[in-house]
Chains A and B, each alone.
Chain A
């Protein structure tokens, strides 16, 4: 490294930091965000949480109801993720450059994935709510659609990373397309894919809360109901049960990941 390279790098860094500072001020101006008032709000908010978000006996009486809704939400996320994974596997095999049947299929599958991934889950749930009504299926479909896009991108990357050498080897032995896919691509990518699926289940339980608030289903709806009636003891209990469920699933998937990867 000589002096000019160092100088150039220093200049780039200065420009980057200046850019970020300008961007921050611009964002604060557009959103009407007060730096000082937000700093002041933090201690008050912490105090409020410590004094209001306390579980009491009355709230504990709601636990069976909460557990039922939580279970519904967990099941919703698992079902949406698993079924989305099956479709994503198909789309990824079509979309990956290593295993693509032809360019048209590849482009179509990547386009579908990009559309489903980049339209936020919120938009999907509001769109589906209009015709499917207020029930679990709406939440399930909203999660499903968002998951397909994400998992397809992840699976395509997995296939491209894992399968290149073995696809070539199998092709050289005269294996057919389906033999290549079922004997090389899927088995080699499977551990990584399962790991993505587990990650997505965790994410989807959190998103399911959001989707639930919007579509009036599951634990999210329950949270919204008690939140709006200012019953903060139950709100606290619901939050704790969600946290426990997410952490439990995270621990479980970490253990599975340790074995399979």
Chain B
């Protein structure tokens, strides 16, 4: 019978003679290095900050007072409930348009980006472009389109579209790559063309994933649309929020608007979580 021996080189001892169970473990070294680096950078960060006009002793009680006014005494004063509902609808509409168009474009691009359905050069180049597009913050896309295409919902939707496409291409192509290769092989062996494999093989087995990712993006796009209203003048409830806080300094209105955004966001989140759990339980 072969004797089981440990390779001596694997076991390392500390000076006291104990077996050092941590040494040589690359994972834990990298993990620790990452944590220490992040910690050090965090401490360092506070020396880089610009503290102009920062008075914590005054700001903290003031914030608490403001928060109390916002959340305990919310009230609309510059526009009525009907107008408010309309503004929320505009923000939802901007988010929905960017998501629907984004999902359509992303579907075709993701087919090109998925390694099992495409050729290497195409999938590589789509990935590089997508990584670039994703690295530009959405607000910069919207602002750039606002000059190039003129202000209005078109600029906002186009700007948001760029980011949505980039995000969904990544998610979709990963879903496509997880399709069982046997399904593709079976279809190909029957003489099915590329489109037939996509329509009858890839699409049915990934459809629920695509749906759940798209809805998740809609959830994100709602808050992006709020941001675009505030920062890029795209209209909707975000713009009202910006006006209430930046122009009228009306804390109670800010509170009411925040409540409305919060309500919509929570409904979307609950819906998206349900959709996700249904997708996973269906597997």
CB within 8 Å for A76 and B45 given contacts A206-B138, A210-B231 = yes
Check if A133 sits within 8 Å of B59, measured CB to CB: yes
Task: Return the contact of B45 from the options A78, A119, A220 (Cβ within 8 A).
Answer: A78
| Count of chain A to chain B residue pairs whose CB atoms are closer than 8 Å in the complex | 230
Contacting residue for A194 out of B31, B134, B242, B254, CB 8 A: B31
How far in angstroms is the closest Cβ of chain A from B130?
A: 12
Output the nearest chain B residue to A227 by Cβ-Cβ distance: B143
Count of chain B residues with a beta carbon within 8 Å of a chain A beta carbon? 81
Residues of A within 8 A of B195 (CB): none
Does any Cβ of B come within 8 Å of A23's Cβ? yes
Contacts of A122 in B (CB 8 A): 223, 226-227, 230-231, 238, 241-242
B173 beta carbon closer than 8 Å to chain A = no
Q: Is B183 an interface residue (CB 8 A)?
A: no
Stretch at the interface among A90-98, A99-107, A177-185, A241-249: A241-249
Interface residue? B139 (CB, 8 A): yes
- Hey, which chain B residues are within 8 Å of A30, CB to CB? 86, 89-90, 92-93
Residue of A nearest to B145 (CB): A45
Q: Do A45 and B258 touch across chains, with their CB atoms under 8 A apart?
A: no
Q: A28 contacts B149, CB within 8 Å?
A: no
Report Cα–Cα, A48/B147, bound state, in Å: 9
Closest A residue to B232 using CB positions? A213
Residues of B within 8 A of A128 (CB): 63
Q: Flag the segment in A32-40, A55-63, A162-170 that touches B.
A: A32-40
Contacts of B135 in A (CB 8 A): 206, 242-243, 246-247, 250
A30 to B45, CA, bound (A): 44
Q: Is B109's CB within 8 Å of the partner chain A?
A: no
Q: Is the CB of B140 within 8 A of A242?
A: yes
Residue A5 is within 8 A (CB to CB) of chain B in the complex: no
B265 CB contacts on chain A under 8 angstroms: 118-120
Check B49 against A136 for contact (C-beta < 8 Å). yes
Tell me the complex Cα distance, A41–B85, Å: 29
Q: Known interface pairs A24-B97, A38-B157. Does A118 touch B269 (Cβ–Cβ under 8 Å)?
A: yes
The 5 closest A-B pairs by CB, nearest first: A27-B93, A45-B148, A79-B45, A41-B149, A75-B45
A sample of 26 cross-chain residue pairs with beta-carbon separation below 8 angstroms, ordered by A number, consists of A23-B96, A24-B97, A28-B93, A31-B153, A31-B235, A31-B236, A33-B93, A41-B149, A42-B149, A71-B48, A75-B44, A78-B41, A78-B42, A81-B38, A82-B39, A119-B261, A122-B230, A122-B238, A135-B52, A136-B51, A137-B51, A191-B27, A207-B137, A209-B140, A213-B231, A260-B30
Known A41-B150, A114-B266, A127-B254; 7 more pairs at CB < 8 Å: A31-B153, A41-B149, A78-B41, A81-B38, A82-B38, A123-B254, A194-B34
